[in-house]
Structure 1
Amino acid sequence: MQFTATCPRGLEGLLAEELARLGAQDLREQPAAVHFSGELELAYRCCLWSRLANRILLQLVRARVNDAEALYRAVAGIPWEEHINPSGKLWLQFSGTNREIRNSQFGAQKAKDAVVDRLRDKTGDRPLVDRHQPDLTVALRLQRDQLDISIDLSGESLHRRGYRTHIGAAPLKENLAAALLMRCGWQEIADRGGALLDPMCGSGTILIEGAMMAADMAPGLLRGSFGFERWLGHQSDIWSRLREEALERRRRGLERDLPEIRGYDADAKVLFAAEANIARAGLERQVRVSCRAVKAFKVPSHRDVQPGLVLTNPPYGERLGEQEALRETYAELGRQLKQEFPGWLVGIFTGNPELGHSTGLKSHKQYKLYNGSIPSQLLLFEIHEGAPAGSQPPGARLSAEAEMVANRLRKNLRTTGKWATRNNIDCYRLYDADLPEYAAAIDVYRSLEGKTYAHVQEYRAPAQIPEEKARSRLRDLVRAVEQVLEIPQADISIKERRRHTHKGGGQYQRGAESGRSFWVNEEGAELEVNLWDYLDTGLFLDHRPVRRYLREFASGKRFLNLFCYTASATVQAALGGCAQSTSVDMSKTYQAWAARNFRRNGLDPYRHQLVEADCLEWLQAAQQNRRGGYDLIFLDPPSFSNSARMRGVLDIQRDHETLIRQCMVLLAPGGTLVFSNNLRSFKMGEGISGEFEVENLSGKMLDKDFQRNPRIHNVWKIRQS
């Protein structure tokens, strides 16, 4: 059988590992879900034992659906009489749209009609529609023209374990709490006898999930019911056996001497909720809470407590109070941890990493997760004996010149950095020659795992600057980046590069092969970045608004991407719902890179075609063969190229009119060409302005991090007059 486990964003990798341990096969990750295969017993086991999944779906059919009638036929073709009693209760959950089915409510209504009509035709009876206590929940997901029809075996979301009837003001979902514990290696810490403490425990979710893991308790044991229990395909003998096995494992686990698991909170009222939840979970003997302020947080002294894990989810500022008022709370926590917890691992989960830095601790690992819709980070710290955590190593003090650069970087973090955080932007320009003596661009990249990297592109120094002075300034710059961003020099990529070079000249020159690539998020797209092996990184940050524009404009359109590089623009257009795409570039390296981006984001290679070709020759051939009908074309050529593989030399100022006219021939009626280049002296030819409807979008295509230089790139929208 084919199954899908859904989960919160950021937990896909952990969920895949958990499902593999439970026996799942053929695992395949996608955003917020993991697909796998196995027997029905495996699905039951996942419902009972998964600490991370939201739902377990049994896939019935995957069908191509391009309109409402095709949707009706696909749903009506399923033998629903084998899944639900005709007089039972039914609920359908429909998500997604395409060009013809533009409303999920309409899709749900059409699917419901198909199920009801099928059952009435086969049995003479029809089910009631009831979302609260259905006998069968059907999950339908439409992505462009592909429809997945599944049975929801979970019923209520699996994160609802059944023990939490009382919650605090800012609750942490149970499966997210379990994920934090897993990221911290809690199971291994518990196995060696290490303790679990939470100094701001709220309603106790982290503590309860930690105790359930340590005691080998199935998270689904306390639930009242699962969706599969009223499904006609349910095999109760298998389920009864699995449940009895879980009950026996819980009995044995609770008989063991578990490590100390204890929580504190300054709010006595929220501790009543924690105590009620702990009692409902049956863990009164294993988990204790007491009222204590952060400034009194210490290792419990009543028993021999082994160093272990301090894990907490403090207030973020956005939810429970002003950030400035919370800084002292975080700082006090940091002071107590340094003084009282040497040898412990500390995890702080926060939606405001800047507040996390107020602890004065230096994190050695960061994981990016989401608390609901809030982008958040799990910051991990090791508290060492002897030296205050986060202190600088000997000799790390910055020179006066480097301190000047560091102050500018700190200022930019308070402005551009906060802007990026608010807008969920993980990759952005932090500094662009703000101080003339330190002529460089510094870009920040945060990986999907939450690790921070820096990309330093030094602009070539003027001829009158001695080489040694230029090298000294570069060293100052790198030291400042290392200290302000709190990252090791190994995670800083350093390149020398002329200011005017962008997508031309030497963009395909390679450095020493490192193989150090990682994945980043850009508005839901996951894109591969390599800071070391090439002059450029695989993602042009200044084109972020252009990609956003293409995504918003692409729904239902045939899209052509010329000089596509790593095809990040195509990925965004595809996620925006373009009907199909063609991406052309002559580089084997970047075509392979684009293919990895496509696979990572689940793009269908039959609908999204990669073409390795010289764009100049491809355009000429496309005209001769009367290829065309594109609704949206993105033309983003280098400013200059004389690559040995090209038919000739490309000079964008000289050649842009020819390129634009060739593209306009390929447009369908009413289509749009988006033309971009990075030649700062570029001027649009008068012939183009007179022949077509031309709109200069350059000023609208600058995000905050690139507004220092409004001539960073040119963007034009061109349509037939």
Structure 2
Amino acid sequence: MSTDERQWFATCPKGIESLLAHELQVLGANTARETVAGVYFTGPLAAAYRACLWSRLANRVLLPLATVDAADGDQLYAGLSALDWQAWMQVSQTFAIDFSGQNRAIRNTQFGAQRTKDALVDWFQQRFGRRPSVDRRAPDLRFNLRLSKDRAMLALDMVGGSLHRRGYRSEAGAAPLKENLAAAILLRADWPGMAARGGALIDPMCGSGTLLLEGAMMAADIAPGLDRRRFGFEAWSGHNPQQWQAILSDARGRAERGRQRQLPEMRGYDADNRVVRRAQENIARLGLERAVRVLRKPLAELRRPTHLPIAEGLLVCNPPYGERLGEKESLRYLYRELGEAMKREFDGWQAAIFTSDLDLGRAIGLRSHRQYKLYNGALPASLLLFDLKDNRLSDNGAAAAPETHKADNAPLSEGAQMVANRLRKNRRRLNPWLKRAQVECYRLYDADMPEYSVAVDIYGDRVHVAEYRAPADVDPDAAARRLDEVMAALPAALNVRPGDIALKVRQRQRGAEQYTRQAERGEYFSVREGQAKLLVNLHDYLDTGLFLDHRPLRLRIAAEARGRDFLNLFCYTGAATVQAAVGGARSTTSVDLSNTYLGWLRKNLAHNGLSEQGNRIERGDCLNWLEQGGRDYDLIMLDPPSFSNSRAVKDSFDVQRDHPALVRAAMSRLRPGGQLYFSNNRRGFRLEPELAEQFDCQDITRETLDPDFERNPRIHVCFSLRHRGGSAA
């Protein structure tokens, strides 16, 4: 090794050592040897300077000074006391110690740092009668001591802190992605190559913009350390200011020329206005406003920019991962929505998805051609690379494509044949409306023949059958036989597989037995209603998650929601909330007492690429929640149960008895010119006359029933209420 040649050590996040070794060689290292979370390299002082200024991947660049025995604290002190500390610092300078590692005797890093500090200050005290001072925040020199077994390596931190702090980010969002890890993701995805060929970079969930800014700095040839106020080596006795200034001046010139070039298209989106503003501030600090644009946009609205004829580009993303109980199940639908958007909008591009949960990564539904194991701090993570050309979405647990079902040739009984004929007749009657309105979930049969007392609902390619409770004078055996005839008629009449028919039976039990428990399959599948995708479950609960009779009201809300603040009281699974959100609501708030239903709502939001930012979810008793006060709304849906005696609230609820107070409380939160829809399914319900006098109230029940519920107009009642004197918004 020549006199100018030195041994250096660069630390980095685990998993990117090979990338760092290559980078260091490009920056002038003569040799590079990988180890866990770092790279040893040799080269002149200029190579270390360039590593400090230009490394996009390193955490620290260290100059090894000495290795000493450290079987215990006393041996560590003795070894460090024998070093010539004046070769590296002066007594007038401040310092700090970073200590890492442990062994059998030194189990605490604070103890190790204390013994190291004692050795240093005692060395100066014995020779000069003075002690240098410790400055943990901004020392002149920072020493690093790494303990491994019974040996400790002392090194000078050439940077004086972590290189991942570029200086452009004043405040990170939740669980921020470190800048050097973001750079590693982009390098693994070959973003520099794409940028050189004119490709675009898009991050659909950009947060504070780390991936975009690292990508922009690469494209504009901006050294990541250029905005650091100072480096640790500047107070080191071996520092060469002239050489450093030449390297720094060259980097400044390259950055200035890079900012003036025509840079690739780089865009980011996020549903949270706060982090969008933060990202825009970070972009401005780097002076890259012309090149990088960030807008508020939920994943549901992700589109490939229409002015981009670019055939090549990179979609890069670090989606959220679940930390709260149940959150992961919701995120599966968000990741699936991301996969659908990737394929639909960016066919032919490349994609790089970084996730701390590989199971969520698989939920995307696309085939990754390469995977890398990385670490986000101590958290294991995966980088998935996708070639979106000819990459087909898998079913990924979604409803399987329907198979043509050949009806059983066994003859139907007379009763079953009669049911099949009625089902076919009803479908023929509804078909023109179904096609015109593009309805895929509807009621096909509702006890049309009283002796066959069931409701038959269609959910896409599946069928849900709910038995009505038979009167006490009906023979149980006869009721069971008729139900069997219904189940026999369905496959033949509707051309469906028996396995695609879900049956809810009001089974008669003896003694203390109650109705049969519902299943616990956890099978959700997606159906469309207007522009929304909604998740239904045909087996696990008494209801499916979607009240079909409220379809017209939900679609009315979707049409009226744009630019308005929407409140959904007794929100159930949040179908109306999703309709309002996809309809362009400025915000939504959903209130319910059931954690199960609120979890379902979270799934529905994620399934539509909608963030909980701007779509607030509140658990609580609706009347108490309203009485606590708060913000007002332009559009409110109030759909309480007919009766409830939930253990979570003190008193029972009866909609006929209690609706006046509930309606008045809801109207107190309605803005002038706003609209409240009040609906319930209580048979024989009567609205309190004083409400009609106090508010502008219209009975719109008939307007909220589609052709599939014409035979049962008492399925619900619905009223439109406004403040008197208010005009339509």
Deviations 1:88-138 (A, max 9, x none): 211112222333334332322222122112222333322011111111111
Q: Who is 1:202 aligned against?
A: 207
Q: Who is 2:294 aligned against?
A: 289
Shift of 1:28: 1.7
Letter matched to residue 248 of structure 1: G
Contact 2:335 2:364 in 1 (8 A): yes
Shift of 1:320: 10
Distance 1:353 1:317, change over 3 A: same
Shift of 1:389: 4.4
Distance 1:99 1:295, change over 3 A: closer
Distance 1:343 1:253, change over 3 A: same
Q: Who is 2:119 aligned against?
A: 114
Letter matched to residue 274 of structure 1: A
Counting only pairs closer than 5 Å after superposition, residues 429-448 of structure 1 correspond to structure 2 as none
Contact 1:86 1:126 in 2 (8 A): yes
Shift of 1:86: 0.4
Instruction: Say whether residues 1:139 and 2:159 are aligned partners.
Output: no
Q: Who is 1:331 aligned against?
A: 336
Q: Who is 1:357 aligned against?
A: 362
Within the candidate set 25, 49, 70, 2:75 is matched to 70
Letter matched to residue 365 of structure 2: G
Shift of 1:391: 8.0
| Structure 1 unaligned residues grouped into runs of 5+ | 398-721
Equivalents in 2 of 1:250, 1:155: separation in Å? 23
Instruction: Say whether residues 1:315 and 2:330 are aligned partners.
Output: no
Shift of 1:240: 0.8
Shift of 1:365: 0.7
Instruction: Say whether residues 1:243 and 2:251 are aligned partners.
Output: no
Contact 2:177 2:376 in 1 (8 A): yes
Q: Who is 1:172 aligned against?
A: 177
Shift of 1:303: 4.5
Measured on the aligned residues, the alpha-carbon RMSD in Å equals 1.9
Deviations 1:422-475 (A, max 9, x none): xxxxxxxxxxxxxxxxxxxxxxxxxxxxxxxxxxxxxxxxxxxxxxxxxxxxxx
Instruction: Say whether residues 1:56 and 2:61 are aligned partners.
Output: yes
Instruction: Say whether residues 1:193 and 2:198 are aligned partners.
Output: yes
- Describe the SS at the equivalent of 2:293: strand
Distance 1:337 1:96, change over 3 A: closer
Percent of paired sites with the same residue: 53
Q: Who is 1:81 aligned against?
A: 86
- Describe the SS at the equivalent of 2:315: strand
Counting only pairs closer than 5 Å after superposition, residues 699-710 of structure 1 correspond to structure 2 as none
Distance 1:68 1:333, change over 3 A: closer
Equivalents in 2 of 1:236, 1:81: separation in Å? 20
Equivalents in 1 of 2:223, 2:99: separation in Å? 30
Equivalents in 2 of 1:256, 1:22: separation in Å? 23
Instruction: Say whether residues 1:155 and 2:155 are aligned partners.
Output: no
Equivalents in 2 of 1:67, 1:315: separation in Å? 44
Equivalents in 1 of 2:352, 2:324: separation in Å? 20
Deviations 1:663-721 (A, max 9, x none): xxxxxxxxxxxxxxxxxxxxxxxxxxxxxxxxxxxxxxxxxxxxxxxxxxxxxxxxxxx
- Describe the SS at the equivalent of 1:150: strand
Q: Who is 1:388 aligned against?
A: 392
Return the index of the structure with the highest Cα Rg.
Answer: 2
Equivalents in 2 of 1:320, 1:172: separation in Å? 23
Moved more, 106-115 or 38-47: 106-115
Equivalents in 1 of 2:325, 2:199: separation in Å? 31
Q: Who is 1:544 aligned against?
A: none
Q: Who is 1:228 aligned against?
A: 233
Moved more, 292-301 or 344-353: 292-301
Letter matched to residue 130 of structure 1: D
Shift of 1:25: 2.7
Equivalents in 2 of 1:321, 1:182: separation in Å? 34
Q: Who is 1:374 aligned against?
A: 379
Shift of 1:207: 0.2
Distance 1:250 1:319, change over 3 A: farther
Shift of 1:390: 4.8
Contact 2:311 2:348 in 1 (8 A): no
Contact 1:191 1:214 in 2 (8 A): yes
Equivalents in 2 of 1:318, 1:177: separation in Å? 21
Letter matched to residue 357 of structure 2: N
Q: Who is 2:557 aligned against?
A: none
Shift of 1:362: 1.0
Q: Who is 1:511 aligned against?
A: none
- Describe the SS at the equivalent of 2:304: coil
Distance 1:278 1:364, change over 3 A: same
Equivalents in 1 of 2:325, 2:314: separation in Å? 25
Contact 2:311 2:349 in 1 (8 A): no
Letter matched to residue 9 of structure 1: K
- Describe the SS at the equivalent of 1:128: coil
Q: Who is 2:425 aligned against?
A: none
Equivalents in 1 of 2:365, 2:105: separation in Å? 55
Equivalents in 1 of 2:214, 2:377: separation in Å? 18
Contact 1:62 1:149 in 2 (8 A): yes
Per the normalisation by structure 1, the TM-score is 0.53
Instruction: Say whether residues 1:125 and 2:125 are aligned partners.
Output: no
Deviations 1:314-354 (A, max 9, x none): 00112798012112211111111111111100111111111
Contact 1:166 1:276 in 2 (8 A): no
Within the candidate set 251, 269, 272, 1:267 is matched to 272
Contact 1:170 1:319 in 2 (8 A): no
Shift of 1:76: 2.0
Shift of 1:267: 1.4
- Describe the SS at the equivalent of 2:312: strand
Equivalents in 1 of 2:360, 2:149: separation in Å? 41
Within the candidate set 8, 13, 16, 2:13 is matched to 8
Letter matched to residue 157 of structure 2: D
Shift of 1:306: 4.0
- Describe the SS at the equivalent of 2:248: helix
Letter matched to residue 235 of structure 1: N
Deviations 1:22-51 (A, max 9, x none): 111332221111111111211111010000
Counting only pairs closer than 5 Å after superposition, residues 567-586 of structure 1 correspond to structure 2 as none
| Structure 2 unaligned residues grouped into runs of 5+ | 1-5, 402-729
Q: Who is 1:30 aligned against?
A: 35
Equivalents in 1 of 2:143, 2:53: separation in Å? 20
Equivalents in 1 of 2:325, 2:174: separation in Å? 8
Shift of 1:305: 3.4
Counting only pairs closer than 5 Å after superposition, residues 501-512 of structure 1 correspond to structure 2 as none
Distance 1:320 1:341, change over 3 A: farther
Contact 2:11 2:61 in 1 (8 A): yes
Equivalents in 2 of 1:321, 1:234: separation in Å? 55
Equivalents in 1 of 2:43, 2:185: separation in Å? 27
Shift of 1:263: 0.5
Q: How many residues align?
A: 392
- Describe the SS at the equivalent of 1:155: coil
Shift of 1:153: 0.9
Distance 1:331 1:391, change over 3 A: closer
Contact 2:340 2:393 in 1 (8 A): no
